[in-house]
Structure formats: C-alpha cells, structure tokens
Amino acid sequence: MKSSQTQLFAVTGNPIIHSKSPGMFTSCFQKHNVDAAYFRLAATSAQQAIFMCKHMKLSGMNVTAPFKEKMLKLVDVVHDEAKIIGSINTIVVKNGMLHGHNTDYFGVTQSFADMGISVKGKSCVIIGAGGAGKAAAYGLQKEGAHLTIVNRTIEKAQKLAKKLSCNFAPLSELKQILASHTIIISALHQNINPIKKEWITKSHIIFDANYTTSELVQWGKEKKCTVVSAEQWLVNQAMLAYSLFFGYMPHKKSLEDGLMMNTITKKRNTISTIGLMGAGKTSHGKILAEKLNYMFKDIDEAIIEKEQKSIVAIFNEHGEEYFRTLEMQELAQSFNSPKPHILSCGGGIVTHQKNRELLQKNSLVVWLFATPKTIIERTDISKRPLLQVKNPEKKLQELYETRKSMYAKTADIVFSTENEIKLKSAHQIIAELKHIGLCNE
C-alpha cells in the first residue's frame, strides 16, 4: 500500500461549519494544480485542534475564533507579527514543528491597497480591541496611519495603544472621534454597532470586519462613502496564508471564485459519515438520525441483509473487489430515496472515485477521526476482515495513510471521536449543524 502524497490543510474554530476557507483554498489548488485537500476541522478546544493537526498529519491549518489567542501557547514557534498582535490565525508545519503566524493584518492593508487607497498619514479609528482590531491596528500602524483605538473596555484600548504607540479613547467619545477621523474600521462582533447613522459623512472610508450583514456598510453605501469589502479582508489574509503554506502568492481570482463554492448548506438533505473502521460512524449516525428525525441506513448492514452473509464471509468467499462493487451499488441506491437520510459508510467506501463523487454531490459529508491505536483498543477486530493480521494497529495506520487524502477530499467537516464519553462528539456535530439550520432542539 502506498501512502498518499496529498498535503492536508484545514480551518479550525468553534463553530466552523460556516467557514468559506475550504472553497477558497480548493479553488486555488485547482488553479495551481496542487495535490492538496482542505476541510473544516471542528474542535471543542484549541488543544483538541492541535492534537488532530498532529495526528492527522496536516501540513498547515488556519485558525478562527475562539482559538486564535490560545494557539500562542500551543505552537512550537511564534512569529513576530503574531507575538505583537497577540494571536495566531495560520499554522505551518515544518519538519514536525508548528509555526504560528498572523496574516489578518495583511488582509486589512492589502484591501485598502487593492482600492488604490493609501492609508499613510490618514486618521483612522479602530472600534474594538479584540483579535480583528489588534490585527487591523498592527497592519495600519506599519503602513503609517494615525490610529485611535476605541473599545468598550477602556483598559483593553489603552493596552493595545501602548503596545503600538498610538491614541486611544473611551466608547463615550466615539461621536467626536468619528468627526475628526477619515477611516472607520469596525472590528466588533456581528450585530454590535455603537455608531449612529447621522455620525457618518460622505468623506468617511468604511471597513467592517463582518463579511455577512453589516448595518454600518449599508449606511456607508447610502451616504456614498467609500466602502472597503470585508470579503477582501478574508481573501487577502488567505493569500498570505497560502504563500506561507507553499512559498508563493496564489492567483487572487481563484480565491475570489472560491468564495462562491460554499455549497455546504445546499447538501443538508442527507448526511454521510465516513472514516476508518471503528471510528464511530454507526453509533454517531444513529444519534444524528434520532435528533434530526432522519432515516438511518448503515451501508454495511444493508449489504449483509441482502447477501445473507457477514462482511467477513463476503470477503473470504468473493474477495474485497466483489464487496466494493456491492458497496457502490448500495450507495447509489441510497440517494434515490426522497426522504432525508443519515448514511453510515464503510471505512473503504472512499477508495472508489465514483463513491467519492456520489457522496460529495448528494450529501453533507462528516469525517469521523480517531487514531489507529484508540480504534484498535475499542474495536472487536474479529469482525474486521482487513485487520486479520499479526499487527492490526500497523495495518490500520497503513490504511489511514492510503486513504487520508480520499477522506479529506470528500469531507465537508471532520470531528474527533478520540475520547468518547457517552458519544460526546455526536452532540458536538449536532451543535455545528444548528448553525446551518439543522436540528433546532
């Protein structure tokens, strides 16, 4: 068995199912003919994300809220800009070492440059001293803007201003600050807007970090202000992250095109679980089916029922290829049902390209990951024909190395089932699904 040479990348955060990064990076891989896969890595903590990064053997990982600051203590090397900003949004794996970077500042400065706006010498107010605000302040300070940091908690604004040698002010003075500043950057959480519409004038340049809906941007457009797109922030920070991963800047339009590839919400009718044997696909699938009120189908069990033989017997009597043909037929039939389904797929279902295409086109694909060591400890290997060998853990590790690129290129999102206590990760999956309108409990 040959190990895959495909490089694996992911974006992690909590929640993460909404992330547009997979579309952007996948579009770049296609444009630059790079053998790589990029997926969403769901984690309950920064520590769990790092564990998965190491054990899944990722080449790099992007990081979003709420893990950016916590990553500072978890990587091996923290680069200068990340130290100053106080957070990490990009991790590059080099010779087994995790290097932490921050590319958010470039997302801000390049977005102004793209519009032909020089920030040098311009007065800029940054509202919010969290991760996005710190990155924006660092980038604009580097480019020579005159900054004032405004924050609800004045101590945070003061601390950031001291670090960057710039001004700060309390939120109560925002009206007066806006009257004397040209550039307004809002780095606040979505739906938080301390600005009043009448404080904005045509001469303002507006930049809101939220790339979904923004009241501030809407007002800016109404008043004929110059508005810098938050999606450009997303694209430009991804450009620098890509260059850290591969050593060259990507084709920018491919990133922009990739923003349109975020089709995860269109694949909600069927959810398929994939991953190594023993990763928990059936047990998790049953819980998901119950919570979502979906039908449940185990592909292996359906084959056993039709053949009236165990999987071991099918392998022994007819060989693996015969079983894979049955598997392909059963999967194709599963998508003919008009009813929403949870499909539990066998560990090797991804080895056929047609299966991978069927899964990607017709379902939201959930990859369940656990290390081979953990799987062997909790699995009855007598029921697993491929593990009837002298060293089953080594065999399972070989299977992972062979299949990991197939899982990665098929999956929309991955969850860890490494430390299963009452199937806790099943509830983590449900929590993510709520963010795309599934499971309203």
For the chain, list the domains and their CATH numbers.
7-102+234-261 (3.40.50.10860), 106-228 (3.40.50.720), 264-436 (3.40.50.300)
Report the percentage of the chain scoring pLDDT > 70.
Answer: 95
Residue 118, CA atoms < 13 Å, CB-side half-sphere:
3
- Which of residues 337 and 27 earns the better pLDDT score? 27
Torsion of CA 79, 32, 411, 379, to 10 degrees: -70
Query: pLDDT tier at 57 (50, 70, 90 boundaries)?
Result: very high
| 4, pLDDT greater than 70 | no
Of the candidate ranges 28-37, 162-171, 385-394, the one whose mean pLDDT is the lowest: 385-394
Q: What is the pLDDT of residue 229?
A: 87
Separate counts of helices (H) and strands (E) for the chain: 18, 17
Nearest to 349 by CA among 316, 323, 317: 323
Q: Which of 3-7, 157-161, 408-412, 428-432 has the least mean pLDDT?
A: 3-7
Cβ-defined contacts of 24-27 (< 8 Å, 24+): 24/234, 24/235, 24/238, 24/255, 24/258, 24/259, 24/261, 25/238, 25/242, 25/255, 25/258, 26/258, 26/261, 27/254, 27/255, 27/257, 27/258, 27/261
Residues 240, 79: Cα–Cα separation, whole Å: 14
As annotated, the active-site residues are 68
In terms of Cβ atoms closer than 10 Å to its own Cβ (0-12, 13-18, 19+), residue 198 is: exposed
Q: Which long-range contacts (CB under 8 A, 24 or more apart) does 296-301 make?
A: 296/341, 296/342, 296/344, 297/334, 297/341, 297/342, 297/343, 297/344, 298/344, 299/327, 299/330, 299/331, 299/334, 299/343, 299/344, 299/345, 299/346, 299/349, 300/344, 300/346
| pLDDT on residue 230 | 85
Strand partners, 42: 13
What confidence score (pLDDT) does residue 1 get?
Answer: 45
Q: What is the mean pLDDT of the chain?
A: 90
Give the predicted TM-score (pTM) of the model. Answer: 0.90
Residues paired with residue 274 on neighbouring β-strands, in sequence order: 367
Supply the DSSP symbol for 411: -
